[in-house]
Structure 1
Amino acid sequence: MPAAEWIAAEEARERLGVRPQTLYAYVSRGRVRVRPDPGDPRRSLYRAEDIAALRQRKSRSRKLAEVAAGAIAWGEPVLESQITTVAGGRLFYRGRDAIKLAETETLESVARLLRGGHGAALKRTDRPKPPEARDMRERAFVALAARAAVDAPARGRNPLALAVEAATLLDVLTDAVAGEVGGGAIHNRLALAWGQGPGGPGADLIRRILVLVADHELNASAFAARVAASTGASLSAACLAGIATLSGPRHGGATAAVRAFAAEAGQAGAHEAVARRLADDRALPGFGHPLYPDGDPRADALLGRFRPPKELAALRKAAHEVAGLTPNVDFALMSACEALKLPPDAPFALFGVARCAGWIAHAIEQGQADTLIRPRARYVGPEPEFA
């Protein structure tokens, strides 16, 4: 074999851009062939072809890593889904405009649409009393955890059995939020629990909220639910992963930040509160959305259905006049709950119940894909110590 096909260690390391111990690790793993240097038996030569292949692989891996890293935060799509998309500044559930669906549909019918089922309602199984807890947020977590501890894995289950379990699971979460086992449409059950007459304007506003926030493509909680589902976990376990992720202040807890911002505006005045945050390079919670540069259509659809409290109306006006930003669904949700005088944790409860429909749909779809979601980490820690 010609000598030009073998190179010294210094050149091999330079071509790869690695330390000596890394080169030795490649050799020990059989990825680079080595032989003694005929001119100096104390030195080794390394197969140039193997070095070139490693270099090409590293370059390709870097490019893939850059694509993957860029996809994590509002980047390129990372998996296929038939459930929800945002296109042209509008939200679609399986190709149907969510804003139009909110005019007539219930959460139950949208839940069936999201998971790909037909329009017929499914018979639910019997449900236990909701757990005892301090508030509806805690009851929601406990109810889902109790189901997740005993429910069968979803992998390999009959689609109809999963559909019945999905409908029951949505009812279980609604019971937990309402504080009692109930019948009828979910929005009416929640309205009754919160002092709103079922079938009245308050109940209708709750229905619209539930439909409009039922799913939102591959958001953080939907992705968490899919990761759980990819392991074969039960639907309830996937929903538990979803609600745990939803609880973060940068997701379902965002309405609390809107509430705090509104409190600032109430003390200092709306224009002053907006100006102060901009001067401090801080965000304006409840305004703007990366996927809707021209305005969140969900917010518009809700805010046109009720009269927000005057303090919130003033904040909306100030954010637009000073920063040129329009409300997003967090602002609309918090405003609606304030207008209806619902409990303080109602925004999170509404988000959780509605998104449960989306988590179930994503869990079922991920289960059908039969692939494990298991990305690799780009290690940036200390150099591994190979013996």
Structure 2
Amino acid sequence: MSWLTAEEALQALKTKPQTLYANVSRGRIHAKPDPSDPRRSLYQASDVQRLAERHAGRRKAETVAAETIRWGDPVLPSAISTITGGRLFYRGRDAADFADVATLEQTAALLWNGAEAFLSGSRTGNTSPSLQAAFRALAGRVASDLPSLGRSQAALRREAGGVLCTLADALAPGPPEQPLHLRLAASWRRPDAADCLRRALVLMADHELNASTFAARVTASAGAALSAAVLSGLATLTGPLHGAAWQGVDALIEAASALGAEQAIRRTLAQGNRLSAFGHPLYPDGDIRALALLPHFPLPPQFAAVRETGEEMVGERVNVDFALAAMAAAFDLPREAPIIIFSLARSAGWLAHAMEQIDSGELIRPRARYVGPAPETDRRT
């Protein structure tokens, strides 16, 4: 494996240092500290060459097809949400504008093509939000819920409401007559956070065909119960490259508290780690969800320093993972608050996509491009 200096990588890419840092942050180029000077980084030559060829328009057809499923062209038709022109839309409605006035229940009704706002209920004695309780509750439903295949959309929408209730009992326990953002704020004893929680839940409810949503659609396409689809989505969401990216943000803030923002960011990049606080491939001008959420609470000083320094160094604006972590710090919410908020909100989207996939009647079954040892031929005569 060969490595390039920053100067060599910049010459091959014909780009600015900020773009190189952004590609490292996004995981497109792997980096490691230079053994001769730990303050500098080396960049994997094959990653640099791949990006250089892409920019030059010399990709082979099979490479284009393989990358379709990785930040590529849409691979499934959907009428639920889309990202275009730097904005996020739910069934044609601007999600950032919708977050000014809507609740998660109303967002679920919109995503599910329902005529009225979804009403939540509570059936358990949970006293605090718990991701573990959500997994247990969903697993219990999977064992008894009916398969989705052959059932009407009306029946599925009723069941979707029940599944969301089950998840809400674990993630936002509280009186059934209260909206979910108020239940969540009360369970954390932070009533002043209620409006920001409402906005965050609406903004995080769906995001096109992301990894967890794709997992939910694959499960639903096999005819499994809606609860199974949501369980698949929730399991996928816990990955550090998806819903658990807030942990990387927290780690960066902790490093910045000890070293200063600039040195913490430099060290993270030099170690070849992603900067999960900055950039999003679908929002070249800034993650609209972060831009819509950040003005509604005071940014803690350390977060403000990391934001200002990082946006200058990396050339990317902070994203929604940063915004959720900053909001949790601003309101002194529990450390796992970002993944709780993300899970509760995105369950509405998973259910919408599961029902849409079921209605299509199609099984999601892609083929693999085999790159292993050549198959043995039959030598029998």
Asked if TM exceeds 0.5, the reply is: yes
C-alpha change, 1:222 and 1:142, in structure 2 (3 Å) is same
Q: Deviations over 1:64-119 (max 9, x none)?
A: 7544311111011111000110000110011110000000000011111112222x
Q: Which residue of structure 2 lines up, in the alignment, with residue 98 of structure 1?
A: 95
Give, in whole Å, the separation in 2 of the partners of 1:360 and 1:246.
14
Give, in whole Å, the separation in 2 of the partners of 1:144 and 1:64.
41
From 233, 237, 243, give the equivalent of 2:228.
237
2:219 matched to 1:222? no
Unaligned runs of 5+ in 1: 1-62
2:299 matched to 1:302? no
- Whose relative contact order is higher, 1 or 2, with alpha carbons under 8 Å and at least 6 apart? 2
Name the TM-score, length of structure 1 as normaliser.
0.78
Q: Which residue of structure 2 lines up, in the alignment, with residue 335 of structure 1?
A: 326
Name the TM-score, length of structure 2 as normaliser.
0.80
Checking the alignment, whether the CA contact within 8 Å between 2:122 and 2:173 is kept in structure 1 is: no
Aligned-pair CA distance for 1:381: 1.7
Across the two proteins, how many residue pairs are aligned to each other? 320
Aligned-pair CA distance for 1:278: 3.4
Instruction: Give RMSD over aligned pairs.
Output: 2.1
Give, in whole Å, the separation in 1 of the partners of 2:203 and 2:272.
31
Secondary structure, counterpart of 1:254 in structure 2: helix
C-alpha change, 1:122 and 1:205, in structure 2 (3 Å) is closer
Checking the alignment, whether the CA contact within 8 Å between 1:299 and 1:329 is kept in structure 2 is: yes
Secondary structure, counterpart of 1:357 in structure 2: helix
The worse-fitting range, judged by mean Cα deviation, of 317-326 and 370-379 is 317-326
Aligned-pair CA distance for 1:180: 5.3
Q: Which residue of structure 1 lines up, in the alignment, with residue 124 of structure 2?
A: 129
Q: Which residue of structure 1 lines up, in the alignment, with residue 171 of structure 2?
A: 177
Give, in whole Å, the separation in 1 of the partners of 2:138 and 2:300.
34
Give, in whole Å, the separation in 1 of the partners of 2:111 and 2:261.
39
2:67 matched to 1:70? yes
Give, in whole Å, the separation in 1 of the partners of 2:270 and 2:63.
33
The worse-fitting range, judged by mean Cα deviation, of 203-212 and 165-174 is 165-174
2:336 matched to 1:345? yes
Q: Which residue of structure 1 lines up, in the alignment, with residue 145 of structure 2?
A: 151
From 155, 179, 188, give the equivalent of 1:194.
188
Secondary structure, counterpart of 2:89 in structure 1: strand
Q: Which has the larger radius of gyration?
A: 1
Secondary structure, counterpart of 1:238 in structure 2: helix
Q: Deviations over 1:219-248 (max 9, x none)?
A: 000000000000111111000000000011
From 186, 196, 199, give the equivalent of 1:205.
196
Unaligned runs of 5+ in 2: 1-59
Q: Which residue of structure 2 lines up, in the alignment, with residue 53 of structure 1?
A: none
